[in-house]
Amino acid sequence: MPGVNAVFEISLTGGAGVFAVAPRVATGSTSVSIRVVNASALDYERLQDPVIELQVTARERSTPQHLSSVAVVTVTVEDRNDNAPVFSQPSYDVSIPENVLGGATVVVAAATDADSGDFGTRGIRYRLFGNGAERFVVDEVTGVVEVATCDTPGSGNCLDYDAGSATYQLFVAAADEAGGGRSTVAPLTVRLTDVNDNRASFAEGYRNYTAIVDEGSTQFNPPLIVQAEDADGSASISYSIVSGNTNDVLSIDNVTGVVSVAAPEKLDISLLATDLVVLTVAATDGGGSLPDLATVSVFVREVNDRRPTFDPAVYAASVRETDPPGTLTSSADPEVSAVDGGVPPQSGTATVVVSVLDANNRRPTFQPAVMRVDVPE
């Protein structure tokens, strides 16, 4: 039977309170266990050194000498993958021009991970998903997001503000352990900005305009408006007259495309020397691209501004009562009207005095009672 001299106490030093030893008192011979009593303090990421040295001391309790012995226990803390990757921002929101070339950097969506080795940053792999993600590529190791290579940047199947989606809602995933471990997702919003990459143009069927306007008119009725198109979302089209505007008689509103009579007093066929004014009109978007052209044909309709006149104003005529109708100019009414073919018609009058010469005993009559003779202007 071991005596009191065989009783010893067991204590632990080192380990900063993380470990405890048991039993605390033993007699003769015992096996000692070291337990973790504060697991939360045992974080690989926060340890200065994953190697912890403990000393287990056995000391006689009852002998005068209190003889003791020390054993050194080395504990190596191993890492566990207990941290997920963390992106540099909770979300990313970027704007890029619609026509950027393939390979242009959209954003660097990089994450870090507190764990060691492949559990940590080194093991992170990136992945991109969401609607339209095929138009972008992410470097799986660096997290650099680029525009995918595309044949027609700004149009077609490429990024296109005007015809496609103007905003892409994507997501970047970062996963440690070479993509198979813990993962984190960050939203990535890519907003396209419009680039003036479409010409202003007159659509087919809107390249030729025709109108009729009266001499001296101040406006077209109905209004004469030319209309071009531009596929750019932020387009502003400007109109101008390139040629054909004789005497600057017409004008165009550069914003609305409304063609107006600029100088009504010059809208006169005799001044224009023609009744057809053919304008060439241009539409541009101010972006330096070639203007598109349309033709505006304006027919000027003559307006009668002079009355027909007779000279002299009084005609004297004799007619024999037996003469056939039409022998002379004649009407049952002694007044004769002359109406011209202008618009509006103008008329003048002259008085015709008709003396009927008696040729027999019968009363003179006109046959027919009413006759009409046109007198040219």
Binding residues for Ca ion, rule: CB under 5 A, are 44, 79-83, 113, 115, 119, 161-162, 176, 194-198, 230, 232, 235, 285
Tokens of 311: 């000279």
Tokens read off for 52: 């912890």
**CB closer to Ca ion, 181 vs 308:** 181
CB 242 within 8 A of CB 293: yes
Task: Tally Cβ neighbours within 10 Å of residue 145.
Answer: 23
Smaller CB distance to Ca ion: residue 113 or 215? Answer: 113
202 with 294: CB under 8 angstroms? yes
Question: Which tokens in the block code for residue 310?
Answer: 């007779």
User: Among residues 232 and 340, whose Cβ is nearest to Ca ion?
Assistant: 232
Task: Report the nearest approach of Ca ion to the CB of residue 33 (Å).
Answer: 25
Element (H, E) at 337: strand 335-339
Shorter beta-carbon distance to Ca ion: residue 115 or 214: 115
Give 38 or 55: the residue with its C-beta nearer to Ca ion.
Answer: 38
* Cα 31 from Cα 119, distance rounded (Å): 36
CB of 51 to Ca ion, least distance (A): 16
Between 83 and 330, CB nearer to Ca ion = 83
Query: Given the structure tokens 């490429």, which residue do they identify?
Result: 158
Instruction: State how beta strands 292-301 and 208-214 pair.
Output: parallel
The backbone torsions φ and ψ at residue 5, rounded to the nearest 5 degrees and listed phi first, read: -70, -15
Nearest approach, Cβ of 116 to Ca ion (angstroms)?
A: 7
Minimum distance from CB of 272 to Ca ion (Å)? 35
Provide the residue type at 41 as one letter.
A
Count the helix, strand and coil residues of the chain and give each as a percent rounded to the nearest 5: 5, 40, 50
Closest distance to Ca ion from the beta carbon of 40 (Å): 13
**Cβ of residue 160: shortest distance to Ca ion, in angstroms?**
7
CA 180 vs CA 118, 186, 285: distances in Å: 10, 17, 52
